[in-house]
A and B are shown apart, each in its own frame.
Chain A
Amino acid sequence: MELSRRDALAALAATGVAVGGAAVLADDETDDRPLDADSRETMVAAAHTLYPTPVENVEPFVDAFLDGRVHDRPDHAAGIASATDYLDDYTRSWDGESFANLHRLTRSDALHAMNADTADPDPNGSDVERVRYYVVNELLFALYASPTGGTLVGIENPLGHPGGAGSYQQPP
């Protein structure tokens, strides 16, 4: 199932970002964007691990989502950057590679090994708690609060998505 720019906008609608469109989802990829290329690469790599395999078009979705997510929110950008830096440091120590350069399944092993699966998500917590919050839950929230992510599970208007007051009336 393919993620779209519309999905990114929908996911942003659940996060407090004013989704006027172009102003938020910038098309340029200059280095002065609030989140640098390394962090974006790490987030995209994490999404390839965290998202189920039927999901396609992950990179543009994550990139567009992050554009909106960190727009005018330097603290949130810093949180993501710090968490992705920790992920990179961790895998360089244990696997000799940056997180993004690892195989998808090896990344999953690394996340399990650092206990990101059981850690409490906490934006102000320990390194691993911030990985859970700013990487794992950030990306799962983006997917499963979008219509495409919801539809994978069977709900086209998931919690947090303004999908109208019609779907609840519809039969399966």
Chain B
Amino acid sequence: MNTDRTPTESTDVCIVGAGPAGALVADRLAARGHDVVVLEAGERFDDDSRRERMERHIRPGHGPLSVWEMGGERDAYTSSGDRGYPLNRARVKGVGGSTLHWQGMVMRLHERDFEQASRRGVATDWPLPYDDLRPYYAAAERALGVAGAADNPFAPPREEPYPMPAFEPSYSDSLFADACERLGIAMHSVPNARNSEAYADESPCVGYGTCKPVCPSGAKYDATRHVASAEGEGARVIDQAAVQRLEHDAAGEAVTAAVYATPDGETHRQEARQFVVACGGVETPRLLLLSASDAYPEGLANTSGAVGRYFMDHVFAGTGGVLEEETRQNHVGFLTSECHQFYDDPTRGTDQGVPSADGDASEYARLKLEFLNYAGPSPVQEALGSEEWGDALLGSLRQSYGNHIAMGGLVEQRPCAEHYVGLDDSRTDDHGNPVPDVHWGIDDVTRRTIERANEIQERVLAELGAEVTWQVGPENTGPAFHHMGTTRMGRDPAESVVTPELRTHDLDNLWIAGSSVFVTGGAMNPTLTLAALSLKAANHLHDTLT
């Protein structure tokens, strides 16, 4: 393997971060003949190590951060908000980025997500409508390889079938289906970035069941596919090249170099005509803040003061229980059915038994509901944590496995300036840089919407005849690990960091790709949208370079 980490002498584009955003931009630009260098802070993991990583996930004794080797001085952080934020559980540093451990759910945002201020008087509108992003969504679905079906009556309009057929519903979906039909709730398929048939030189899903945090087969999309493709087109990807800061010219109009450190203790400068920051919703604003200068004392590209502000995630709402029949859980690690019926108006009930909620729709955030295929314990994991063995263990496993059932859901967090990613000057990382400070919490709208999600979930489980045994509500909810909003997009340089073309307002040759540019997050898993935006950024970059 090539371990030369010295800079490329002359290049068109330098991209910081080899996750999905950076990989897609690199691939598209390299395919169009541009010279591209990608600097990735983490390492390039060996594909052959994935089953060992899976074992670390399944077996106690390793810890969740060991799967992708997160943690330590490199990844130190502070969590200072009302709610603790487990940042290193929420991300992977390495070639492929957090798609290495993601679930792989890829829904488009709804049309109304782009227009919440003008339609409801809440949050902020995006500077572009759904229609502008629509062709990029289709391109992103092809790029990621999405298995889906046009059976969702609540989804925004689309122009072509998904690249692959949807995964068939699970057996437990069929149990939910009867109850939901009686309640007037529509179930539909889940678009998955996971091969339901051979695609992109990878096999169909073979059912390891450990999608999150690792897919040993490669059937789940991760950004190493586009890294490999970009490299095939001539791009250069340098791993373990931690960018320390971006430098700009005397006028403060253009970035001149990315300064990065390598494991041999050296520091290098990568110069380029254009720069793309694509290192996620936390490290992207952190890098800009670390790059403060006389011209940009509050952080590079931060004339608006919005860099790091408006940090959003999705929060989880769930309800589970047991039935007096088998439910066939834990065969696969992905979802096959969900429900967007209450997404645009969570207050709306059904004539068949879901009560309406008090108040106006504007008093609620978005929510989507999910039907889980992995409720209750996995027998192998339970066995490895048991204090029994032999016949006693088998008896216990038989008793605990088999009849669990559960619903999950994601709830939107609206942008809030008081939730931010900043720098903690009192702590430093392995290179002496202040660590990120994630200041996060949950507001009343989010809390109310979680309660509403729980109410609907309880109603479904009651119709199913389940005994409810657990619930994740406002008090014990946690983040879904979707980092958004910290370099928001907009037309007004006083209010936003990047333009609708994803170029920073402040510097002509600095672009941002990733979910940090989201204005609002809806309640949809963000990767398809960030992929679509990255393809859009690549188009604009290409136009700029030619």
Q: Given the complex, which residues of B lie within 8 Å of A153, measured CB to CB?
A: 379, 394, 397-398, 401-402
Interface of A is mostly: loop
Asked if B59 and A52 sit within 8 Å, CB to CB, the answer is: no
Partner of A167, one of B55, B169, B331, B401: B331
Tell me, yes or no, whether A58 is within 8 Å of chain B by CB.
no
| Residues of A18-65 contacting chain B, CB below 8 A | 18, 49-54
Which residue of chain A lies nearest to B195 when distances are taken between CB atoms in the complex? A165
Q: Given the complex, which residues of B lie within 8 Å of A171, measured CB to CB?
A: 171, 174, 328
A53 to B168 Cα, complex, angstroms: 37
Tell me, yes or no, whether A122 is within 8 Å of chain B by CB.
yes
| Residues of B163-213 contacting chain A, CB below 8 A | 167-171, 174, 196, 204-210
Tell me, yes or no, whether B73 is within 8 Å of chain A by CB.
no
Question: Could you mark each residue 91-124 of chain A with 1 if its beta carbon is under 8 Å from any beta carbon of chain B, else 0?
Answer: 0000000000000000010010000011011110
A58 to B526 Cα, complex, angstroms: 48
Tell me, yes or no, whether A74 is within 8 Å of chain B by CB.
no
Asked if A162 and B390 sit within 8 Å, CB to CB, the answer is: no
Tell me, yes or no, whether B508 is within 8 Å of chain A by CB.
no
A168 to B48 Cα, complex, angstroms: 27
Asked if B59 and A136 sit within 8 Å, CB to CB, the answer is: no
Tell me, yes or no, whether B387 is within 8 Å of chain A by CB.
yes
* A121-B207 CB under 8 A given contacts A52-B393, A154-B326, A154-B402: no
A33 shortest CB reach to chain B, Å:
21
| Residues of A122-172 contacting chain B, CB below 8 A | 122-123, 133, 136-137, 140-141, 143-145, 149-150, 152-155, 157-172
Partner of A158, one of B49, B204, B379: B379
Which residue of chain A lies nearest to B373 when distances are taken between CB atoms in the complex? A168
Asked if B59 and A168 sit within 8 Å, CB to CB, the answer is: no
Q: Given the complex, which residues of A lie within 8 Å of B217, measured CB to CB?
A: 162
Asked if A163 and B207 sit within 8 Å, CB to CB, the answer is: yes
| Residues of B377-394 contacting chain A, CB below 8 A | 378-381, 383-384, 387-391, 393-394
A121 to B54 Cα, complex, angstroms: 17
Q: Given the complex, which residues of A lie within 8 Å of B171, measured CB to CB?
A: 168-172
Which residue of chain B lies nearest to A125 when distances are taken between CB atoms in the complex? B61
A133 to B54 Cα, complex, angstroms: 16
A80 shortest CB reach to chain B, Å:
14
Asked if B60 and A137 sit within 8 Å, CB to CB, the answer is: yes
Tell me, yes or no, whether A3 is within 8 Å of chain B by CB.
no
Asked if A53 and B380 sit within 8 Å, CB to CB, the answer is: no
Asked if B398 and A141 sit within 8 Å, CB to CB, the answer is: no
Q: Given the complex, which residues of A lie within 8 Å of B48, measured CB to CB?
A: 16, 18
Asked if A137 and B390 sit within 8 Å, CB to CB, the answer is: no
Which residue of chain A lies nearest to B394 when distances are taken between CB atoms in the complex? A52
Partner of B330, one of A14, A53, A155: A155
Q: Given the complex, which residues of A lie within 8 Å of B378, measured CB to CB?
A: 158-159
Q: Given the complex, which residues of B lie within 8 Å of A117, measured CB to CB?
A: 387-389
Asked if B209 and A152 sit within 8 Å, CB to CB, the answer is: no
Partner of B59, one of A13, A141, A166: A141
Q: Given the complex, which residues of B lie within 8 Å of A145, measured CB to CB?
A: 58, 380
Q: Given the complex, which residues of B lie within 8 Å of A54, measured CB to CB?
A: 394
Asked if B389 and A157 sit within 8 Å, CB to CB, the answer is: no
A17 to B53 Cα, complex, angstroms: 12
Question: Could you mark each residue 65-105 of chain A with 1 if its beta carbon is under 8 Å from any beta carbon of chain B, else 0?
Answer: 00000000000000000000000000000000000000000
A49 shortest CB reach to chain B, Å:
6
A158 shortest CB reach to chain B, Å:
5
Asked if B383 and A144 sit within 8 Å, CB to CB, the answer is: yes
Q: Given the complex, which residues of B lie within 8 Å of A136, measured CB to CB?
A: 389
Asked if B59 and A137 sit within 8 Å, CB to CB, the answer is: yes
* A141-B391 CB under 8 A given contacts A162-B206, A167-B331: no
A149 to B51 Cα, complex, angstroms: 19
Tell me, yes or no, whether A4 is within 8 Å of chain B by CB.
no
Which residue of chain B lies nearest to A166 when distances are taken between CB atoms in the complex? B207
Asked if B209 and A157 sit within 8 Å, CB to CB, the answer is: yes
Asked if A157 and B207 sit within 8 Å, CB to CB, the answer is: yes
B521 shortest CB reach to chain A, Å:
30
Asked if B210 and A160 sit within 8 Å, CB to CB, the answer is: yes
Asked if A140 and B328 sit within 8 Å, CB to CB, the answer is: no
Partner of B49, one of A16, A108, A154: A16
Asked if B204 and A165 sit within 8 Å, CB to CB, the answer is: yes
Asked if A141 and B380 sit within 8 Å, CB to CB, the answer is: yes
Q: Given the complex, which residues of A lie within 8 Å of B168, measured CB to CB?
A: 169
* A13-B390 CB under 8 A given contacts A155-B401, A159-B210, A170-B171: no
Asked if A168 and B331 sit within 8 Å, CB to CB, the answer is: yes
Which residue of chain B lies nearest to A154 when distances are taken between CB atoms in the complex? B402
Asked if A49 and B58 sit within 8 Å, CB to CB, the answer is: no
Q: Given the complex, which residues of A lie within 8 Å of B59, measured CB to CB?
A: 121, 133, 137, 141
Q: Given the complex, which residues of A lie within 8 Å of B373, measured CB to CB?
A: 168
B38 shortest CB reach to chain A, Å:
28
Tell me, yes or no, whether B354 is within 8 Å of chain A by CB.
no
Question: Could you mark each residue 38-51 of chain B with 1 if its beta carbon is under 8 Å from any beta carbon of chain A, else 0?
Answer: 00000000001111
A121 to B59 Cα, complex, angstroms: 9
A155 to B331 Cα, complex, angstroms: 7
Asked if B170 and A133 sit within 8 Å, CB to CB, the answer is: no
Residue from the set B51, B206, B325, B380 with the largest chain A CB neighbour count within 10 Å? B380
Asked if A165 and B383 sit within 8 Å, CB to CB, the answer is: no
Residue from the set A13, A14, A161 with the largest chain B CB neighbour count within 10 Å? A14
* A108-B206 CB under 8 A given contacts A14-B54, A120-B61: no
A66 shortest CB reach to chain B, Å:
15
Asked if A122 and B61 sit within 8 Å, CB to CB, the answer is: yes
Q: Given the complex, which residues of A lie within 8 Å of B492, measured CB to CB?
A: none
Asked if B58 and A172 sit within 8 Å, CB to CB, the answer is: no
Partner of A160, one of B58, B167, B196, B204: B58
- List residues of chain B with CB under 8 Å of any chain A CB: 48-55, 58-61, 167-171, 174, 196, 204-210, 216-217, 325-326, 328, 330-333, 336, 373, 378-381, 383-384, 387-391, 393-394, 397-398, 401-402
7 inter-chain pairs at a CB distance below 8 angstroms, sorted by A residue, are A121-B60, A133-B61, A152-B398, A159-B330, A168-B332, A169-B170, A172-B326
**A-B CB proximity, top 5 nearest:** A16-B52, A168-B331, A16-B51, A52-B394, A121-B61
Besides the contacts A152-B397, A165-B204, A168-B328, what 19 more A-B pairs have beta carbons closer than 8 Å? A16-B55, A17-B51, A50-B389, A117-B389, A136-B389, A141-B55, A141-B383, A153-B394, A153-B397, A154-B326, A155-B328, A158-B330, A158-B380, A159-B210, A159-B378, A163-B331, A165-B205, A165-B207, A172-B326
